[in-house]
Amino acid sequence: MSLVKGTPLRKKLTRLAMTCSVVALITTAVSLGTYEWFFYRRVILNQLVTLSMITARNSSAALAFDNADDAQRVISALEAEPAILGVALYDDRGDRVANFARDPRTMTFPVTAPSDGQYLQDGRFEIVVPVAETKRFGTLLVEADISVLRGRITAYVAVLLITTTVSGFLAFLLARRLKKRITEPVQALAEAASSVQTKDDYSVRVTKRENDELGTLTDAFNGMLDRIQENQVELHRSEERLRLALDSAQIGTWDWDIERSDVKWDARNYAIYGVKFGERVTAEVFWKNIHPDDVAKVRAAIDAGFSSGGFATEFRLELESGLRFIVLRGLVLANVAGRPHRAVGVTIDITERRRAELRVVESEQRFRVVAEKAPALIWSCEANLKRDYFNRTWLSFTGRTLEQEMGDGWRASLYEEDRERWQAIASAAAGLTDPYSVEYRLRRADGALRWMIETASPRLAADGSFVGYLGTCIDITVRKENEAELEAHVRLRTHQLELANQELESFSYSVSHDLRSPVRVIQGYAEVALEEAEAGRIDTLAQPLHRISKAAKRMDELISAFITLARISRAELSAQRIDLSKISEEIVGQLRAVQPTRAVQFSLQRGLTALGDERLIRVVLDNLLGNAWKFTTGREPARIEFGQVPSKKGPAFFVRDNGAGFNEAFAGKLFQVFQRLHAASEFEGLGVGLNTVQRVIQRHGGEVWAEGRENEGATFFFTLPENAPELNREPAEAARP
């Protein structure tokens, strides 16, 4: 597996090490060689010169004292120096005194002394030095062959080559060993990197070997893999989310390499355009299904996007499955030169949304049509209860214009007393977004107050937020009235039932108590009569029998009264207009006929009529006038009056007398059955009359009451309502137990 292009790193490292070593060695060798060449030569020459001068010095005494043998000995010592080819010694006259030649065949000396100096001649080096000891005694000539130097250099080069070769080999071995410590971690890193690259496996980790830069690099590499792995997981999640988002939102994505005319679509984009997945996306494929009317628009949008950097356009696609509404959005990226080279974006299928919008519009229209023609009053309001719509029915009901009604304007028609209630209920419901229903009175165009029931349902926006109410109002006045009537009827019936119970109670009481008193009288006198009869006293029988007869008569009267009372309670009322004045006059006439001796002044208001059952009203007047007649007994003059006066309870008829009157503290008891305020001995009576009066009046829906003082007369008032003889508005509150 070749990880690095071309030569692997380990070879490179070896090459590097070897190149460095060899270059260093060669440089050193050349430097030393050059040094040798230039400086060793100088050293050699200096050495030769020095040697010459020493020899010259040593030979000074030989010359000074003409000792040629000694001179010869001195110069012959130079034979030890291999570079020296020959030496010659000249005296102060320039004559050669002694010489020495390594090879006499090739060596010739000048006959006379040459001048001092150093000369290079034919590859030979000539050194000419003076021989002196405070005085010049002669000249020494030394000839040397510096070619010996070349041999030395050659040997030197040979040594150098061997050294270089050996050093290079050692360096190679050393590099091989050392590089393992470098290349192995690098190799491990490279293999891990390759694994990441080729297999996308981010789980591999490299073992750290040493705490050097490679160790740091390994740590960094592992750390980088950790992060990449984390990022990849996050990326996968993110991609998943994006894919889900795109899928659920019906969004396709596309990528258009403009310079290479290459377009890439994702699967959903293919699906949106109705193109088989994977098919090459050409211009033809793109434009094929776009609605012909939209082609120009889309083209213009894309062209504009090329200069502005982005575009968004909407068009229709004609697919086999039907017409689709599409939104195309793109971002145009420019290259360095500023020319668009790539565009990326999304394709969104908004058909469902568009259809839903159309449905909403249609629904709205339908609502308008229905609402405008509906018989109900229809309105809508915003969340703050300000109304923004009234149908025609509403406007024609209130007789106002839409402009007048808008907002809170409609409240002008809301009955003043009901406004607060309406506000309370509507506000409370709006606070809870609850539907509500409220009844109120609304002023109709003709000014009539009509009872309306308003029913409102909350309107919610798509996001569920409350945006107001849609409400209807229905005129319920008739129903309301019927309800009131029904209620009154129920109350009346209830009252009648209560009365019936009272009567039953009274009847029971009468039977058990009051009816028993004449029975006791009859029983008592019957025993007396029996005793008298047994004793044979016939003449004294009349008295108890008379009493018995009287009591029986009284019982009969009581029973008759009970029957009358019962009849009154049960009798059907046949209402008609009756003349109360006339009836009163007749009754007083009858009373006068019964007791012609009594002088009674009767004043009568004529022409007083009322709606009622004549037979029962006659019973009322019989009782009241009869009472007046009865209780004025002994008055001189007795006065009885019948008339009508206004009262709190409407026009009231009255019967007034100046008779015995009554203690007003007991006025409540007046109308109870068999309650008598006066002793029977004082005034005759059964105690049933006033109760009968009250019952009749109550059945007529009227009221009866009395005013009076003891011994100062009494006045009985009663009312007879005009509107309903049988079902009157309110039953008398005076219905006491």
Partner 1 sequence: MLADGPVGPLPTVVSEQSVYAAFVVNITRFVQWPDTAFSSAEAPLVIGTFARDPINAELDIAVQGERVGARALQAIRLHSLDDLARCHVVYLAGSEAQIATVLGRIAGKPILSISDGDGFLELGGHVRFVPRPPRTQLRIGVPNLRRSGLQARAQLLRLGQADGP
DSSP for 426-457, written as a single string: HHHHHHHT--EEEEEEEE-TTS-EEEEEEEEE
CA 461 to chain centre: 13
Strand segments, DSSP code E, in 427-559 are 436-443, 449-460, 466-475
Q: 44 — phi, psi (to 5°)?
A: -60, -45
Q: Where does this chain touch partner 1 (CB under 8 A) — which range of 55-63, 523-531, 544-552, 719-727?
A: 55-63
Angle (CA) 387 391 393, round 5°: 125
Nearer Cβ to partner 1 (58/455): 58
Beta carbon of residue 87, minimum distance to partner 1 (angstroms, whole number): 11
Min dist. Cβ of residue 173 to partner 1 (A):
58
Q: Between β-strands 377-382 and 466-475, what pairing exists: parallel, antiparallel or unpaired?
A: antiparallel
Q: Which of 12, 22, 33, 57 binds partner 1 (CB under 8 A)?
A: 57
Map the footprint of partner 1 across residues 62-91, applying CB under 8 A: 62, 64-70, 72-73, 76
Name which position in 14, 21, 55, 99 contacts partner 1 (CB under 8 A).
Answer: 99
- The reply to whether 53 sits near partner 1 by the rule CB under 8 A is no
**Stretch of 100-108, 182-190, 546-554, 567-575 contacting partner 1, by CB under 8 A:** 100-108
Q: How far is the CB of 65 from partner 1 (least distance, A)?
A: 6
Burial of 579 (0-12, 13-18, 19+ CB in 10 A): middle
Decide if residue 38 touches partner 1 (CB under 8 A).
no
Asked if 144 contacts 128 with a C-beta cutoff of 8 angstroms, the reply is: no
Among 106, 134, 321, 723, binds partner 1 (CB under 8 A): 134
- Hey, what's the torsion of the CAs at 67, 68, 71, 76, to 10 degrees? -150
Measured from the CB of residue 142, what is the shortest distance to partner 1 in angstroms? 16
Query: Does 60 interact with partner 1 (rule: CB under 8 A)?
Result: yes
- Name the token pair of 415: 């009955």
**DSSP 8-state class, residue 671:** G
CB of 48 to partner 1, least distance (A): 21
Q: Nearer to partner 1 by C-beta: 91 or 641?
A: 91
Residue length of the chain: 737
- Partners of 407 in the β-ladder: 387
Nearer to partner 1, 104 or 435 (CB): 104
Nearer to partner 1, 103 or 293 (CB): 103
Torsion from C-alpha of 656, 659, 663, 667, nearest 10 degrees? -30
Nearer residue to partner 1 within complex by CB, 59 or 413: 59
Shorter beta-carbon distance to partner 1: residue 113 or 175: 113
Nearer to partner 1, 69 or 320 (CB): 69
Q: Which is nearer to partner 1, 62 or 591 (CB)?
A: 62
Listed ranges 61-69, 148-156, 184-192, 599-607: which one lies at the site for partner 1 (CB under 8 A): 61-69
Look up residue 137 and give its two tokens.
């005694």
Instruction: Provide the token pair at 61.
Output: 């005494």
Residues with Cβ < 8 Å from 645, sequence gap 6 or more?
A: 651, 652, 654, 717
Asked if 135 interacts with partner 1 (CB under 8 A), we say yes
Residue with tokens 């849609």: 470
From 10-18, 54-62, 139-147, 593-601, span contacting partner 1 (CB under 8 A)? 54-62
Give phi and psi for 255, each to the nearest 5. Answer: -145, 120
Q: What CA–CA distances, in Å, run from 235 to 80, 203, 231?
A: 91, 16, 6
Q: Which of 104, 151, 435, 607 binds partner 1 (CB under 8 A)?
A: 104
Residue of the chain from 25, 45, 48, 98 that contacts partner 1 (CB under 8 A)? 98
Residues that bind partner 1 (CB under 8 A): 57-62, 64-70, 72-73, 76, 95-101, 104, 109, 133-135
